[in-house]
């Protein structure tokens, strides 16, 4: 959706504040684009690609309320330097998590946001197919987790980074989609993430501490800046050996399986 003439003055009033945001622009649900079963980050091109009607151009208006953490600080202030930033193990050099064998015949790179309803649909519809193909050695899936849909997404991505360190990435990823809160509802709290972690087998203190202190939130925010440039369409998106798969294929297990086996 694009701002109409009546909204142009609002865009002008808020532009300076929006330009001051250091990482991704977090917009309310009504201001994000939805089309063809994809969640689109308008900030990946220009903030002018979305309506700013009703936005309060402050960190509170953009981010909502909640404990002060990188999930809020990262959007209205400078991030820590990379040297100071804790980085999780269990990730590819590109910042994704590989599910499957390095020697698999084919590789899919998947971009997801844990608050994206179409990503949840993709998991519900095609997740079992991907797991079967991974088990057969036909494909390996590299998940690159985005966090443009709000501070809830940042908290969830931080938890997934900690889960990858413990070898429980995909188990937690599935649990988080199953428990996906309504967007902009303040969900994916620390307690929510700890409960999902317990269901995924993450019962150790290291995971709990990483969740409660937001250990990898700055790392998540830094990689969001990279992933927004790499993501070709918005979430979910998938590249099979570098070739884009359209959303209809992603949501059709027969078509997705045929593409992998071709």
CATH for 136: 3.40.30.10
- For residue 122, give every residue at least 6 positions away whose Cβ sits within 8 Å of its Cβ, in sequence order, or none: 112, 236, 250, 251
Closest C-alpha among 77, 11, 76 to residue 48: 11
Number of domains within the chain: 1
| 211 has a pLDDT exceeding 70 | yes
131 found inside a domain = yes
Closest C-alpha among 157, 214, 155, 213 to residue 189: 155
59 found inside a domain = no
Q: Tell me which residue range forms the domain holding 212.
A: 79-261
> What residue spans of the chain are helical by DSSP H?
8-19, 59-63, 70-76, 117-135, 151-165, 169-178, 190-199, 205-213, 217-230, 247-250, 253-261
Q: 9 or 251: which carries more pLDDT confidence?
A: 251
Q: Per the structure block, which two tokens stand in for 123?
A: 């998991």
Per-residue confidence band for 166, with pLDDT thresholds at 50, 70 and 90: very high
73 found inside a domain = no
Predicted confidence (pLDDT) per residue in 107-165, tens digit: 999 999 999 999 999 999 999 999 999 999 999 999 999 999 999 999 999 999 999 99
205 found inside a domain = yes
118 found inside a domain = yes
32 found inside a domain = no
8 found inside a domain = no
For residues 250 and 245, what is the distance between their CA atoms, to the nearest angstrom? 7
- The 3-state DSSP class for residue 84 equals helix
9 found inside a domain = no
């Amino acid at each position: 959706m694009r701002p109409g003439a009546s909204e142009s003055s609002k865009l002008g009033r808020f532009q300076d504040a929006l330009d001051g945001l250091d990482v991704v622009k977090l917009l309310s649900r009504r201001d994000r684009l939805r089309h063809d079963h994809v969640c689109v980050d308008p900030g990946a091109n220009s903030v002018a690609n979305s309506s700013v009607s009703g936005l309060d151009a402050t960190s509170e208006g953009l981010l909502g309320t909640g404990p002060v953490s990188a999930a809020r600080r990262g959007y209205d202030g400078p991030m820590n330097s990379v040297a100071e930033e804790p980085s999780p193990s269990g990730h590819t050099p590109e910042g994704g998590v590989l599910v499957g064998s390095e020697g698999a015949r084919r590789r899919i790179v998947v971009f997801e946001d844990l608050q994206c309803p179409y990503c949840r649909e993709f998991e519900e519809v095609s997740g079992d197919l991907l797991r079967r193909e991974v088990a057969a050695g036909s494909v390996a899936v590299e998940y690159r987790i985005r966090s443009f849909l709000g501070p809830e997404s940042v908290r969830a991505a931080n938890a997934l980074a900690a889960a990858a360190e413990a070898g429980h990435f995909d188990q937690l990823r599935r649990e988080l989609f199953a428990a996906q809160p309504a967007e902009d509802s303040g969900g994916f709290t620390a307690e929510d993430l700890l409960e999902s972690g317990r269901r995924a087998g993450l019962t150790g203190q290291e995971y709990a501490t990483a969740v409660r202190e937001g250990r990898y939130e700055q790392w998540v925010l830094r990689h969001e800046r990279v992933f927004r440039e790499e993501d070709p369409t918005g979430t979910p998106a998938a590249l099979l050996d570098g070739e884009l798969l359209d959303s209809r294929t992603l949501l059709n297990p027969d078509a997705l399986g045929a593409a992998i086996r071709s």
